[in-house]
Structure 1
Amino acid sequence: MNKLTAFVAVLMLVAVVAFSGCTDNTTAEGGEVETATFIVGTEPTFPPFEMTDESGAITGFDIELIKAIAEDQGFEVEIQSIGFDALIPAVQSGNIDIIASGMTITEAREEQVDFSAPYIDAGLAIAVAADNSDVNSVDDLQDLVASVQIGSTGHEKAQELLDAGVLSEVKTFNTVDVVMMELVNGGADVVINDLPVTQAYMVQQPGTIKIAGEKLESESYGFAVRSGNEELLTMIDAGLQNVIEDGTYDEIQSKYFS
């Protein structure tokens, strides 16, 4: 290779490196940097937190809240429907960026993902058929069959009661609507599920089920990201704090929890 050829080769290498460096930040027409878009995974059969409206769009308290946070922080979100038990694997693998799906913050989950600050306090409740007068607390669950959503904290609680010899069987289903129908149709004696979701079902289907006794335990929901994704988590937490302070949070909450 002569000196001229070598010089040309060096110039070409510098040009390639410079071009590849520019592709790290996608630019829109006119040279402006495009807004970052993050994929939000949710299981949309968990009203009022996430659900599908008449047009087929995914909406709900969690969805509107994460969109408000995104607007505050200057990024965009794309909502994707995923089975609840597949959400954590999806964020771990990078197929989604954020979980917004009424996910309770637990120690076991904190070993798998990083959670935002809690954005709402919920809790577990026992639901029975509206005409059931035999079950009034967890003490009345001996030898009964429970219906629960797979991967939920209600599932964990039911499994705990099964292992303790209280429940006789635990039936798991992918979505809350099927969980409730199993109870309504007589395939299960009780449902163990998040209190606000059970209350929302009672409003939608009046006279079919009721809550038995007091709330079993308190729980907090959080948005989740891949472990170590501190930049995204910081934006979510900052946005959450801002929408709480400017009143946006209260507006969304009053819309879904009247």
Structure 2
Amino acid sequence: MSRQKSSPTSSKIRPLALAAAGIAIAMTLSACSSSTAPAAAGSASAKAAASGNSSPADPSMAGEAAKLVPKQFKDKGTLIVGLDASTPPGEYVDKDGKTIVGYQADLIKAIGQKLGIDMQLENAGFDTIIPGLASGRIDVGQAGMYAKPARMQVADFISYALIGSTLFTSSSSSKTYNGLADLCGAGVAVQLGTSLQTQLEEQSKKCTAAGKPAVNILTFGNGSDEVLAVGSGRADVGFDSQETISYLIKQTNGQYKMQGAPIDATVPSSIAVAKATGLDKAIQKALEEMMADGSYQKIFDKWGVSSITIKQPAINDTGNPAS
């Protein structure tokens, strides 16, 4: 199940996870974690997926960013947005079993208003998003991706938040992990195709080079299964985004706990678009306008993740500790 690191679609771009057995949020996730590629626009399945997930643009809300939208997208009239809707509070399927909600869903819909263009949200497996952009099946990937050099061969990225990753265990675990170096010999749950999986593979090599046991990397297709593996004891520890696990801990009344300090807290999460289309500049401008009028901050405040906001969106920012 491991992926080639050299592939632009291989490492995830963004940590993730969520859900535990017996709580309402787990039911929400199981109702929607279809992890399928976005349906072609106009198909019956696309129309079904769009139910409750179509965000028509209000012309009165369009900003200067609308002038930067490339003609090919204006003519199309609707941007198809791929989200991995299994990772609260970023994006997940609501109790109705079809509507994608979360701060990332709210953010991309608000960007659509600034662009003066309709947005159609589609639930997609994380590892299908970059290929979907490359093939034209989707126009925007909104899944907390990292701008990695390999990915930038086929996509451009616009930063919108700063989210570190974290190790986590069940609260009943007596094991301690202060960082990746402590994972030699441990069974670690992680989402398939993510940057976190790549980090674990690199750490495993360091472990064996030092004469220690390799990391036992357990990959899962969605965040819900990853978290359940940790909770059930199938995995010793999980590896996911800090804000996602913070949310998990709150929703499960402390059934899980973080381990060690945040990892990669200087790498921005980004929105992805197909390479060299010009749509990146329009989205960057929309974010700048939202930051100026306060609507950007209100979205993050609403979802209780104010700490991950940034001051300025950038294009293809791979992370700078000094920023």
Give me the TM-score of the superposition, normalised by structure 2: 0.66
Does residue 253 (structure 1) correspond to residue 289 (structure 2)? The answer is no
Q: How far does residue 153 in structure 1 lie from its aligned partner after superposition?
A: 1.9
Alignment of 1:1-258 (within 5 A): 36-55=77-96, 56-116=98-158, 118-138=159-179, 139-165=181-207, 167-218=214-265, 219-230=267-278, 232-257=279-304
| Larger radius of gyration between Structure 1 and Structure 2 | 1
Q: CA RMSD in A?
A: 1.6
Higher relative contact order (CA 8 A, sep 6+): 2
- Residue ranges of structure 2 left out of the alignment (5+ in a row): 1-73, 208-212, 306-323
2:281 & 2:264 partners in 1: Cα distance?
29
1:150 & 1:136 partners in 2: Cα distance?
21
2:297 & 2:229 partners in 1: Cα distance?
34
Structure 1 residue ranges (4+ consecutive) displaced by more than 3 angstroms after TM superposition: none
Q: Secondary structure at the match of 2:258?
A: strand
Deviations 1:84-111 (A, max 9, x none): 0111000100000000011122223222
2:184 & 2:204 partners in 1: Cα distance?
9
Residues 154, 194 of structure 1: 8 Å contact kept = no
Q: How far does residue 151 in structure 1 lie from its aligned partner after superposition?
A: 1.4
Residues 145, 171 of structure 1: 8 Å contact kept = yes
Residues 88, 247 of structure 2: 8 Å contact kept = yes
Deviations 1:34-59 (A, max 9, x none): 88211000110011111111122001
Deviations 1:24-75 (A, max 9, x none): xxxxxxxxx9882110001100111111111220011111111111101211
The alignment of Structure 1 onto Structure 2 pairs a total of residues equal to: 224
2:215 & 2:182 partners in 1: Cα distance?
12
- Residue ranges of structure 1 left out of the alignment (5+ in a row): 1-32
